[in-house]
Structure 1
């Protein structure tokens, strides 16, 4: 092969490398996502459109019959109500408490490593262990919480018979496990905030509370959006805590805290109806997507509004600089 031919081949190979190698570098992610993410989602939708039994396997094609049957059941709407209730009771307090804990850990504390490890410790404990411990704490007859209420003269609470009380107990479990994890995420974001901002705020006379509200919280906006979205996805798929809350796994005698994942589990593994269980899974997926879009829209509007407010002073300064430059030009021309 001549030198000219070798140079031509090398140039073509170099061009191919520049053109196609970036796609090869990112292809492992898309391949794994297609195998473990996209394919199960599409297969679940396929199962939801069939009469699918656990033992007999695939049956006849039924279209949207499974969805209409699920939407017509009272148990589905109760599970949807329970899921949204536990999600609201856990996500909001979880984010607020995590921000406060992160701010305390970011301040001048002794033994910072010890406190940070202590905050992360509940996340390391297995969900089943946490559910068993809190299930005993919130037991109606011999639970520690009701015993403490009786000591101070209050009536015991039906932590397992009342819907709202059971939702509050399960939300407490969720907050116990995830608050420390989210606090460390916020702590990492707080440590990236320039300390000059705090020094300027302190020179202007701002106290610790004002610095937290005016400097820390606005700078944490992207991290808050991330934590809210991840907490939304996890909160709507909650399974371990309500499953192990009363040691029976049925979500209460009347479904007081039966979430959508528990309802899905009951349909699939107790009633052996994979078609309707897959329909519930598809509906849960659509619910998560809908709430995620709502969160994204709200946070985007907030960010756009704040960005607009942040651009106005810069434009005003530019106009003032242009006016000053015109005055300087006029003075020079007059001289």
Structure 2
């Protein structure tokens, strides 16, 4: 058969054997390496080669402008003396990092961040899986309940913080009013350090549990129903089906939710910032997080953008390190690769 152009028309058949004058090619003048292509053929080649890059280019351009450039510029600022009013100063290298780490409030903010993160992320994931399992059951008005769990996520963080700060007020809060009515001592949700962490974690759980529950619900609906039917035939109860079928099939989704919760939990700012009227993290900085400490360095009494940028990069390294550890652990769990136990081979009996 003859070769075809892009238009579909045939030209005279190409020789079957390679031509010595064509450099090993079959000799077709239109298929030689040095053959002249029409502008439509060139345009088609350019389109095939560069179209995928053009489709994904907008994301990388926007990310370079609003993500990568600020990240690199923050690293540049962190190595200079940079005052809020005076502007850029001398190059100091890593001195800003050393000054920040040596401050007592840095250690307190780091401990507070991890405490609030653990109190919010762990119960949040567990509660989201349970709520998703309930929503996946045969309930009446499924759409109503599914929309209901998403309502707290739609509420503004400032409004949630203001409402919960009144609920957990030390003197006239709803929780302490109920406790005193039952003859119990009130809890200092603003004066006690760990009690304030529980209150702030309750705000975070209130906002994000429903959102994660819908993610788990979407993953549960993708689980093949044949697995549940086989479990029912084997006599498994609903609880047994949940732990033996549902949870193992949700492992990739659990990995995603854990990683996103880690990134968001370590960057928490709105809830502790609006927990009291001053927004300083308490009189003794009982619930001041790393982002609040960053804000205080940059716009507080010190007004040092260099130190604030150093805190931002320290927090970035912490998030990356914890994210990689979480990814490695959850991926190992999700793979289901248990350590193989070497079984001893039975000794062959010697026939005498």
Q: Would you say same fold, with TM above 0.5?
A: yes
Structure 1 gap segments, 5+ residues each: 310-335
2:311 is aligned with 1:280: yes
Q: Within 5 Å, give how 1:197-236 maps onto structure 2.
A: 197-236=227-266
Q: Secondary structure at the match of 1:255?
A: coil
Q: Within 5 Å, give how 1:95-244 maps onto structure 2.
A: 95-244=125-274
Q: Which has the larger radius of gyration?
A: 2
Cα separation, 2, equivalents of 1:237 and 1:187 = 26
Q: Deviations over 1:78-110 (max 9, x none)?
A: 000000000000000000000000000000101
Q: Which residue of 2 aligns with 1:300?
A: 331
Q: Secondary structure at the match of 2:164?
A: helix
1:301: Cα distance to partner? 1.6
TM-score by length of structure 2 reads 0.84
1:6: Cα distance to partner? 7.8
Q: Deviations over 1:125-184 (max 9, x none)?
A: 110110011101111111110111111121111111111100000000000000000001
1:14: Cα distance to partner? 2.2
Q: Which residue of 1 aligns with 2:347?
A: none
Q: Secondary structure at the match of 1:51?
A: strand
Q: Secondary structure at the match of 1:258?
A: coil
1:308: Cα distance to partner? 6.5
Q: Secondary structure at the match of 1:52?
A: strand
Q: Within 5 Å, give how 1:257-272 maps onto structure 2.
A: 257-270=287-300, 271-272=302-303
Q: Secondary structure at the match of 2:171?
A: coil
Structure 2 gap segments, 5+ residues each: 1-6, 8-29, 340-352
Cα separation, 2, equivalents of 1:261 and 1:91 = 17
Cα-Cα RMSD: 1.8
CA change 1:159–1:308 in 2 (3 A) is closer
Cα separation, 2, equivalents of 1:300 and 1:195 = 25
Cα separation, 2, equivalents of 1:213 and 1:262 = 40
Q: Secondary structure at the match of 2:89?
A: strand
Cα separation, 2, equivalents of 1:204 and 1:282 = 54
Q: Which residue of 1 aligns with 2:25?
A: none
